[in-house]
Chain A
């Protein structure tokens, strides 16, 4: 059966990120002038407005900032997985990202360490997700 969840909308800013996840790498955009590091990427540095932006590989490690469990599917593709878990992770490098937590336990605490895992959902797209570090 074909993949029926939403796929990322590729644009000028985020194309390098999605190319890297296919290679099993979590890349963060950063400013070559002031060092600001962020997610999602943007056209200029929000701190110093420089256009001199580049990419660096993140460790894929972070900590749990928050999480929720969806009991309602806003897309049909999620209906079979209810309830599904979405997490908010602060990466070691600073930026905060939203993703899925693959761990099913109810015994979660803010600040728990997590590590990126990759799931190839189509030939073109590999989604980074997170798992608790045991």
Chain B
């Protein structure tokens, strides 16, 4: 048996690709994923037939995906379409490569929720509390944020800083779905969906697909672009209360603290070394919760900490430089990991973080994960 921490810097991301993001009723999951895969293959220059590991998330049938791409791998894993699966999947693939299950893993995610009118609530996702009308992940986050307001005095104007900063980043990203900047006052004037959360606290729903190709650090030298290393990761689930889906009474503080500490220790970096944070932003409050759990600020102190544009490039900590789920694309964490790679390669143009050497990904969810990427 080996220590997970021995996997520090052993696995690299060599290729990334994505589709355009938007509303594509004429194309299905497999078609979107195939475009993303082709772009990732071109990105690194791999012979696609070398890909011998396949991980799919939110794609109906792994074998059809393999057939579409002409792949017969020796390792396959399929994950449901929950957002938390991105961090989980990348860590699973890294350990599979380290264990020798496969040499080159392609990780594919596709989402056709926009064109198929997915609502993320009601009869689509039956739950214990439907008779009282309590449904949807957004409402669960509203419930958590209300507690944060009550416990710590956090205001919705402070919460607005999250959406405003992330939209600012989207305005610098030509590929983002929503690019028009808005102000804190605009946020406060937006309609409520589930109060205290408003429209601009909710992520987008759009179609698209993402692909990452991973291999060992040694093999990574053979490809077009400098590899980006997976230097550390950490994990902690919170399965109680699962009947109140997407909710934690303590805003996932214990889980994200644990996952963050594991990742920092494994990578041998401190939070002060982090040049940019890619933070799962299905709803704006999760960014506040994550900043606290990771220790960028004290518990309950994220409201004042994010004021005055702290999360913008050039601020205290650039967060979601591609525009995140709130404004770039709802790729359920996968696109944020792609953005981490692009930042470390220096490919981000107007939204490039200067001298970017360490990027952290974090998802505060019932399956909390954090991954630390560094330049190879």
Chain A residues within CB distance 8 Å of chain B: 5-9, 40, 46, 65-75, 78, 83-84, 86, 88, 96, 98-100, 109-110, 121, 125, 127, 129
Known: A68-B143, A110-B151. A83 touches B136 (CB 8 A): no
Contact of B132 among A71, A72, A100 (CB under 8 A): A100
B75-83, B186-194, B260-268 - the one binding chain A: B186-194
Report the minimum CB–CB distance from A78 to chain B (whole Å): 5
Q: Which of B43-77 contact A (CB under 8 A)?
A: none
Q: Is A68 touching B139 in the complex (CB atoms < 8 A)?
A: yes
Point out the residues of chain A lying under 8 angstroms from B128, CB to CB: 40, 98
Known: A66-B147, A68-B194. A86 touches B134 (CB 8 A): yes
Contact of A68 among B119, B146, B150, B243 (CB under 8 A): B146
Q: Output the nearest chain B residue to A6 by Cβ-Cβ distance.
A: B130
Q: Is A78 touching B133 in the complex (CB atoms < 8 A)?
A: yes
Point out the residues of chain A lying under 8 angstroms from B150, CB to CB: 66, 109-110
Q: Is A75 touching B195 in the complex (CB atoms < 8 A)?
A: no
Point out the residues of chain A lying under 8 angstroms from B193, CB to CB: 71-72
Taking the complex as formed, is B196 at the interface, i.e. its CB lies under 8 A from any CB of chain A?
yes
Known: A68-B142, A96-B241. A6 touches B131 (CB 8 A): yes
Contact of B139 among A86, A99, A125 (CB under 8 A): A86
Q: Is A96 touching B147 in the complex (CB atoms < 8 A)?
A: no
Taking the complex as formed, is B352 at the interface, i.e. its CB lies under 8 A from any CB of chain A?
no
7 contacts between A and B (CB under 8 A): A6-B130, A68-B142, A68-B146, A71-B191, A74-B119, A99-B129, A110-B147
Chain B residues within CB distance 8 Å of chain A: 119, 121-123, 126, 128-136, 139, 142-144, 146-147, 150-151, 191-197, 240-241, 243-244, 249
Contact of B143 among A9, A46, A73, A88 (CB under 8 A): A88
- How far is A109 from B146 in the complex, measured between Cα atoms in Å? 10
- How far is A40 from B131 in the complex, measured between Cα atoms in Å? 14
Report the minimum CB–CB distance from A38 to chain B (whole Å): 9
- How far is A88 from B143 in the complex, measured between Cα atoms in Å? 8
- How far is A69 from B145 in the complex, measured between Cα atoms in Å? 13
Known: A9-B126, A66-B144, A96-B249. A72 touches B194 (CB 8 A): yes
- How far is A70 from B134 in the complex, measured between Cα atoms in Å? 8
Q: Is B243 touching A40 in the complex (CB atoms < 8 A)?
A: yes
Q: Is B135 touching A71 in the complex (CB atoms < 8 A)?
A: no
Q: Is B244 touching A96 in the complex (CB atoms < 8 A)?
A: yes
Q: Output the nearest chain B residue to A8 by Cβ-Cβ distance.
A: B131
Contact of A7 among B131, B151, B195 (CB under 8 A): B131
Q: Is B194 touching A71 in the complex (CB atoms < 8 A)?
A: yes
Report the minimum CB–CB distance from A69 to chain B (whole Å): 4
Q: Output the nearest chain B residue to A110 by Cβ-Cβ distance.
A: B150
Contact of A71 among B130, B195, B241, B243 (CB under 8 A): B195
- How far is A9 from B127 in the complex, measured between Cα atoms in Å? 9
Q: Is B134 touching A83 in the complex (CB atoms < 8 A)?
A: no
Q: Is A70 touching B194 in the complex (CB atoms < 8 A)?
A: yes
Q: Is B147 touching A65 in the complex (CB atoms < 8 A)?
A: yes
Point out the residues of chain B lying under 8 angstroms from A68, CB to CB: 139, 142-143, 146, 194-197
Contact of A74 among B136, B143, B147, B191 (CB under 8 A): B136
- How far is A111 from B123 in the complex, measured between Cα atoms in Å? 32
Point out the residues of chain B lying under 8 angstroms from A99, CB to CB: 129, 132
Point out the residues of chain A lying under 8 angstroms from B144, CB to CB: 66
- How far is A6 from B124 in the complex, measured between Cα atoms in Å? 12
Point out the residues of chain B lying under 8 angstroms from A129, CB to CB: 132
- How far is A66 from B129 in the complex, measured between Cα atoms in Å? 15
Report the minimum CB–CB distance from B331 to chain A (whole Å): 23
Report the minimum CB–CB distance from B325 to chain A (whole Å): 19
Report the minimum CB–CB distance from A113 to chain B (whole Å): 15
